[in-house]
Chain A
Amino acid sequence: MTTPSITPPNDLRARYLLRVADTCLIHAQRQSEWCGHGPVLEEDIALTNMSLDLLGQARALLTLVGEGAAMPVDEDQLAFLREERDYLNMTLAELPGRKGGRDFGDAVLRNLFIGTWLHLFWQRLQASGDAEVAGIAGKAVKEARYHVEHASDWVVRLGDGTEESMGRMRRALDSLWLYTSELFDDDEADANAAATGLGPARSELRANWQAAVAAVLADAQLALPKDSAFRSTGSRGVHSEHLGYMLAEMQHLQRSYPGGKW
């Protein structure tokens, strides 16, 4: 590594926004692993489109956070020059994807979980006291709505499909469900956001998320797994072993060619 890491802003507002930005960023990167590998050409394009939507959402928030920092940084520095512990994405987004041997069922279920969460988040952020956050949310909410529709359709098709597709959806559900608790696990950044009118505490999204996801899983003939005491901690900066490998791939160019542009 030839380029030193930056010290990202660490105030509660920045942490709150980085959590959403990083979840979009890492989810986009994982989903983009399907580029060139989709089950059919049309679906390949659809998945790539959605990854680009998510990347755009991440860029808007990273730019906003970077500009507002005491020592301003740009979107590229935030996206590519942080240490692993400074990424605040939900662990769910970083779990192995296609390259880790997971299949399309895993991809669409993850997209349903994160997409529904982001859709609810963006809906609420449209009413943010921060006009720029509200503006970003206004654009993103339309994209997120489509992601949820696309993912929901596939979860139902595969869950209520053949014996093989149902088995794969069950396996995906069993492996991903554990990581959904974190989506609603409040910390001090949530409390601050709710108190200052920046946005909702994560826990406020839980009821609507569960209702929406349960409806899709019911249509898909998939039973809800039992809840577990396990809590993932990516949004506090403590990640699974999988994020480091992703970051190595994502950061390689910026580390080797500092300030490199397209």
Chain B
Amino acid sequence: MSTQNEWPLWEVFVRPKAGLDHKHCGSLHASDAKMAVQLARDVYTRRMEGTSVWVVRSDQIVASDPADKDMYFDPAEDKVYRHPTFYELPESVNHM
């Protein structure tokens, strides 16, 4: 099927409430940015999911190559020392 006449795809990010991050929640088709924001509101915030939406053209996102997954992410596996769990904390910062 040809996709020549289809509206471009947009990725939708919704912020559930003030102070939290926008989180990716899906994608939709829209002819331009304004329509994408409106439709994001209609499609992804019908059940009180959000207080703010971001949309970005899917073709504007630069993603890592799945073929590079091993090279990129596996080397972190045995480096537990990168988690800050090996430090003795003074009592006064007990609640960090």
- Footprint of B on A, CB under 8 Å? 40-43, 45-46, 49, 149-150, 153, 157
Contact = CB atoms under 8 A, between A and B. Distances in A.
A240 B20 CA distance: 52
Contacts of A49: 42, 46
Nearest to A149: B38
Interface of B: 7, 28-31, 34-35, 38-39, 42-43, 46
Contacts of A43: 39
26 contacts: A40-B7, A40-B29, A41-B29, A42-B28, A42-B29, A42-B30, A42-B39, A42-B42, A42-B43, A43-B39, A45-B39, A45-B42, A45-B43, A45-B46, A46-B38, A46-B39, A46-B42, A46-B43, A49-B42, A49-B46, A149-B38, A150-B38, A153-B34, A153-B35, A153-B38, A157-B31
Contacts of B29: 40-42
Contacts of A46: 38-39, 42-43
Contacts of A45: 39, 42-43, 46
Nearest to A43: B39
A-B pairs, top 5 by smallest CB distance, nearest first, are A46-B42, A42-B39, A42-B28, A45-B42, A45-B43
A147 to B, nearest CB: 11
A153 B34 CA distance: 9
A171 B29 CA distance: 28
Contacts of A150: 38
A63 B28 CA distance: 37
Nearest to B42: A46
A153 B28 CA distance: 18
Contacts of A40: 7, 29
A46 B46 CA distance: 10
Nearest to B10: A42
A57 B34 CA distance: 27
A3 B38 CA distance: 43
Nearest to A154: B35
Nearest to B38: A150
A71 B92 CA distance: 70
Contacts of B7: 40
Given A45-B43, A46-B39, A49-B42, 18 more contacts: A40-B7, A40-B29, A41-B29, A42-B28, A42-B29, A42-B30, A42-B39, A42-B43, A43-B39, A45-B39, A45-B46, A46-B43, A49-B46, A149-B38, A150-B38, A153-B34, A153-B38, A157-B31
A91 B74 CA distance: 67
A76 B80 CA distance: 63
Contacts of B28: 42
Nearest to A49: B42
Contacts of B39: 42-43, 45-46
Contacts of A149: 38
Contacts of B38: 46, 149-150, 153
A40 B31 CA distance: 11
A96 to B, nearest CB: 25
A36 to B, nearest CB: 15
